[in-house]
Structure 1
Amino acid sequence: MRIKSYGKFNLFLKVSKVNKTNKYHCIKSLFIPYKEVYDEIIIETNTKNDRFTFVEKKDVLDPVNNTVMDTVRYFFDKHSNVNKKIYVEIVKNVPPGSGLGFSSSNAVATYKLLHKLYNIEIDEFDAYKFAKYIGSDAMFFLYEIPLIVTGYGDKIKPYKKDIDVSKFTIVINPEYRCITKEVYEKFDENYLYYSKNYVKHGVFYNYLELPCYDMNPGLYKKFKTLNEKYDHVMLSGAGSSFICFNDV
């Protein structure tokens, strides 16, 4: 069995000051599905040997600590009586650190495919619990429709206005890998400055754009180059992909 794992991009992203107790940030963001490119998850009954096997041929993920493996462990902990002799492969077409949510997407796609493989109906409460376990944007990938996402990524509501996705061009920059945790830490270092001086791109904006550029001068140069071609160039999420569009 296989499933496509799609991405998302953020048309606006507001980030609050870090909560010193739980170390999380509240956000307000508009998530849009991105289906021009995708990873693939393949799960099959393991007939070649008597153990669980994980494969990622491009060698861009830690073979133990990645969201696909986290999902498999979560699923097996919950369903301890199932046959664990399976073959799991992820085909990574989009590099890590793209800012398009593929890490969470891979996890949710694996979660859905495991339920299908074992013919287990997805429990809505468990899906919510699982999404919180994986990360702040995982909830979106359970639905993959335009959503307003708030709180710690756990509060969602459909975005009811029509959006012409075709007017947005996504430019992925594999040479600049942005680590989300590090970008948020940079944002926290100078919260007042970054939260007041974010750049507006028409009606859209991203609070994490300036801290990401401060950490990646080469990415800022790429922004300047693209800005000569498009009216607006904005970083998606914590980077490193750009959303490019022209005024209508």
Structure 2
Amino acid sequence: MWEVKSIKIKAFAKVNLGLRILEKRDDGYHNIESILQTISLFDELNISLAAESIVVTANNPELPLDETNLCYKAADILLKRTGQKRGVIINIKKNIPIGAGLGGGSSDAASVLTGLNLLLSLSLNKEELRKIAVSIGSDVPFFIDGGTAFVSGRGEKIEPINKKIRFNYLIVFPGFSIDTKWAYEKINFLTKRENYITIFNCYFNDSNSGNLELLLKNDFEEVMLGEYVELKKVRRFLIQNGAVSVSLSGSGSSIFGIFDDIMKMDNALSFFAGKGYWAKEAFSIRSSEIPQFALE
């Protein structure tokens, strides 16, 4: 019988369509509420089976390749919990900026779980994969399905949103990373209960970007825009170049603009490229479009 020995898989980025930071938990995390949306920007992973050990390689020298790497953690935990005596080689082609609030590391880890589940014919269902994912990182469970979802707790409680959301995004990375743990330590306020995001207050359809001013409120913005003048500049440039709404993604450092005019978005992309920024156009990816992979 033909044995599949490797898989190529796309690990999609996400943006936060709003983020509220609630009370600090006993475990040191904060409870949050957010709407997460996968977008068409992705890392590329090549996962191969080996006789022994876990090896991670990457095209980005800033990425750790040891057991602190989330892909390494994902492979290690999955192999141990399923009793597999195999090795794994993981090559990561990073297209998603590191420390940008776009969930690249978490998405990569989820893709390793999904990929190894297929390669090793483990037949784990998505709920079983999510239970493993939560031990790797708060955002990792979301990426098992991706799409659009309301998340709460520390990010592990996921409620899919099945309405068709097809926004056009211009993602701008200012050239520096923001450490998530440091960002939470800088937060000196909590969202008031009456201002919490609820998915019932958010309206979406294919022809209307909805009540974005209500939705795109990120509690990190006040702090991060105060810390980094460059973020204020990027936000202002996006608005000046036609974005209908602008927000920080996660704790940053990426800022995205939503555009309802593709020509304006193309022009804005040229504007940022001319100023030397990393900028990419993207659109929403639905859960039905995930995973995208090729077996070899």
**1:12 aligned counterpart, secondary structure:** strand
- Residues 1:18 and 1:170: Cα distance change in structure 2 (over 3 Å): farther
AA matched with 2:20:
K
AA matched with 1:83:
R
- Residues 1:148 and 1:193: Cα distance change in structure 2 (over 3 Å): closer
- Residues 1:87 and 1:211: Cα distance change in structure 2 (over 3 Å): same
Matches within 5 A, 1:11-160: 11-19=17-25, 21-35=26-40, 37-46=41-50, 51-64=53-66, 65-84=68-87, 86-160=88-162
For 1:196 and 1:223, the matched residues in 2 are separated by: 26
Report the TM-score when normalising by structure 1.
Answer: 0.85
For 1:161 and 1:125, the matched residues in 2 are separated by: 22
The root-mean-square deviation of aligned C-alpha atoms, in Å, is 2.6
Identity of aligned residues (%): 28
Residue 228, structure 1, aligned to residue 240, structure 2: yes
For 2:221 and 2:116, the matched residues in 1 are separated by: 36
AA matched with 1:101:
G
For 1:201 and 1:125, the matched residues in 2 are separated by: 31
For 2:193 and 2:182, the matched residues in 1 are separated by: 17
175-184 vs 50-59, which moves further? 50-59
For 2:191 and 2:31, the matched residues in 1 are separated by: 18
Matches within 5 A, 1:201-216: 202-203=213-214, 204-216=216-228
Counterpart contact for 1:60–1:95, Cα < 8 Å: no
Give the number of the structure with larger relative contact order, counting CA–CA contacts within 8 Å between residues 6 or more apart: 2
For 2:193 and 2:180, the matched residues in 1 are separated by: 17
For 1:193 and 1:150, the matched residues in 2 are separated by: 14
Measured after TM superposition, the shift of residue 172 of structure 1 is: 3.0
Measured after TM superposition, the shift of residue 206 of structure 1 is: 0.7
Matches within 5 A, 1:178-193: 178-187=178-187, 190-191=188-189
Post-superposition Cα deviations, 1:97-150, rounded to whole Å, max 9, x if no partner, equal 121111110000011111111111114453232221122222211111211111
Residue 245, structure 1, aligned to residue 258, structure 2: yes
Measured after TM superposition, the shift of residue 23 of structure 1 is: 1.0
For 1:157 and 1:81, the matched residues in 2 are separated by: 32
Counterpart contact for 1:95–1:174, Cα < 8 Å: no
For 1:51 and 1:247, the matched residues in 2 are separated by: 48
For 1:124 and 1:51, the matched residues in 2 are separated by: 26
Question: 1:173 matched to which residue of 2?
Answer: 173
For 1:172 and 1:97, the matched residues in 2 are separated by: 13
Counterpart contact for 1:104–1:135, Cα < 8 Å: yes
- Residues 1:126 and 1:245: Cα distance change in structure 2 (over 3 Å): closer
**1:93 aligned counterpart, secondary structure:** coil
Aligned length: 238
Measured after TM superposition, the shift of residue 192 of structure 1 is: 5.1
For 1:31 and 1:246, the matched residues in 2 are separated by: 18
- Residues 1:234 and 1:81: Cα distance change in structure 2 (over 3 Å): closer
For 2:256 and 2:92, the matched residues in 1 are separated by: 26
Post-superposition Cα deviations, 1:15-45, rounded to whole Å, max 9, x if no partner, equal 10322x211111111111111x210111123
For 1:155 and 1:92, the matched residues in 2 are separated by: 27
Measured after TM superposition, the shift of residue 246 of structure 1 is: 5.1
